[in-house]
Structure formats: C-alpha cells, structure tokens
Amino acid sequence: MSGLSALFYKELLRFWKVVVQTVVAPVVTALLYLLIFSHVLEAHVEVYPGVSYSSFLVPGLVMMSMLQNAFSNSSSSLIQSKMMGSIVFVLLPPLSYLEFFLAYLGASILRGLVVGAGVLAVTLWFAPLSMPHLGWLLVYALLACGIMGALGILAGVWADKFDQLAAFQNFLILPLTFLSGVFYSIHSLPAFWQSVSHANPVFYLIDGFRYAFVGQSDTDPWLGLLVSGACFVAISAITLLLLRSGYKLRH
C-alpha cells in the first residue's frame, strides 16, 4: 500500500462509517426536493419542449447533490482533523503534498459519485429518464466532483473553525448551486440575471450534465467543458500551491 492509497482508503472508510449521514441523508433530501417541486410545478412548467418538469429537475438534483457532497467530504474531514489535532497523523508520514491532494480529492469524487448514483437510483422511480449522452454524463459528473472536492480541500485547509467553513458553504457553495439552474432554466430569467448566471461555473456543470439526460441545454456542452475544465485546473493549482507552501498545516 502506498501512502497515497492508504490515505485514500482512510478517507473512504471515514465517510463509509457514517454512511447514513454522508450518503443516505443527501439522497433522501434530494428525493424530498423532487417530490415537492414536481408536485407543485409539474403541471405548470415545461422548460424544454417535450421534457416534463420532473425529467428536467432530476439531473439538476443529482448534480447538486454531487456538488455539495464532494465539497463536504474533503472540507469536513480536514476541518475535523484540524480541530481534533489528528491531522498530525497525516502530516508526520512521508506523504507529499501531491499525494495529500490526490487522496482527499479521490475520496471526495467517489463520495460525490456514490451520492449522485444514489439520488439517480431513487429518483428514477418518479421521473421518466433517458441518457442519450452517457459520455457527457460521466465527464460532467467527474468534473463537478473534482472541482468541489478540490474546493473542499482549499476551504478545509483555510478554515480555522467550523464556523468559517459553514460560512464558506452557506454563502458561497449553496448560492452558487441554487442559482445555477437546478430548478429552472436560466432562459426564464431577465437578461441581466442570465448574463450573471453565465459567470457562475456551476451553471455550466448543471447545464452540461442535464444535456446528457435531455439532449437540450442552455449553452453548448463543449463550452461548458472548457469553462469547467479551466475551473478545475485553476482551483487545483491554487490548492496545490497552498499545500506545497504548508499554508496553515505546517508552520
């Protein structure tokens, strides 16, 4: 076992030991969103022609759950071990900053994918779905979990207390996901808010991911790939630079 795989395994085991909180709960939350919103809006809203509101909503919910849980995994693991002091067990062994990054990132991606698959599995019963572009589905799922996993590492390393992390989550991650077209198409927004939405990288993730299901989207999925890919590279680069400098981990 290399140090990297041991840390990856530790992170998997960590979230798996609290699977009710880390997987079951977000799946149930997503299901509730689906039941409530589709009950209220199914008969009134048709975002794309020929696509029911439930079928429109499910990809957004799957993506939202993946985003939030990938972020939660790395950020909460790091802040907890920093607060508890047990981060020292990871800092004392001969692990490089790159191994540190990849292990936390890998575990976040896996948690995001497991939650995403769970949400998809339960919502399939409530909404007719097809997946005409499976390749896009995988690409966007991986990119989304990767971006949020890396951002979670960044936030977890930066935050000194739970409060700061909660602020990061509630004032940045949550608005970015909620205001990115999970529940609506940005074409329904006034022109100003449409252009604001285009500056939100999460919008491209949800839009591209939904394209994989319904074959229709607000923007070209290739553009989304470019924006999301650049976003992943930028966040990873910043995080790696901070880890290399020992920021807040090694004095």
Partner 1 sequence: MSQETPAIRVSALHKRFKQTQALDGVSLEIEQGAFFGLLGPNGAGNTTLISILAGLTRASSGTASIMGHDVVRDYRQARRALGVVPQELVYDPFFNVRETLRIQSGFFGLKHNDDWIDEIMHHLDLTPHTEKNTQSLSGGMKRRLLVAQALVHKPPVIVLDEPTAGVDVDLRRSLWAFISRLNREGHTILLTTHYLEEAEALCGRIAMLKAGRVVALDETKNLLKLTNEHCAQFRLDSENVPSAWQNRMVKGGDGNWRFNFSEYADLETLLADLRGAAVRVLEMRLQEPDLEDVFTDIMKRT
- Residue 51 gets the label, from left (phi > 0), alpha (psi -120 to 50) or beta, of beta
Which of 163, 192, 199, 250 forms a contact with partner 1 (CB under 8 A)? 250
Residues 6+ apart with CB under 8 A from 236: 101, 105, 146, 150
Q: Are 157 and 219 in contact (CB under 8 A)?
A: no
Based on the shown chain and the rule CB under 8 A, indicate whether residue 19 belongs to the binding site for partner 1: no
- Residue 19 or 24: the one with the smaller Cβ distance to partner 1 is 19
Note whether 17 binds partner 1 by CB under 8 A.
Answer: yes
User: Using CA atoms, how far apart are residues 144 and 54, in angstroms rounded to an integer?
Assistant: 22
State yes or no: residue 20 binds partner 1 (CB under 8 A): no
Name which of 235, 87, 241, 76 is nearest 164 in CA terms: 76
**DSSP summary character for residue 186:** G
Applying CB under 8 A, which of residues 49, 50, 85, 190 lies at the interface with partner 1? 85
Residue 93 near partner 1 by CB under 8 A: yes
- Residues 220-249 vs partner 1: string with x where CB under 8 A? --------------------------x---
The two three-digit tokens of residue 9, written as one number = 């395994």
User: Binding to partner 1 by residue 84, rule CB under 8 A?
Assistant: yes
| Binding region for partner 1 (CB under 8 A) | 1-3, 5-7, 9-10, 13-14, 17-18, 81, 84-86, 88-96, 246, 250-251
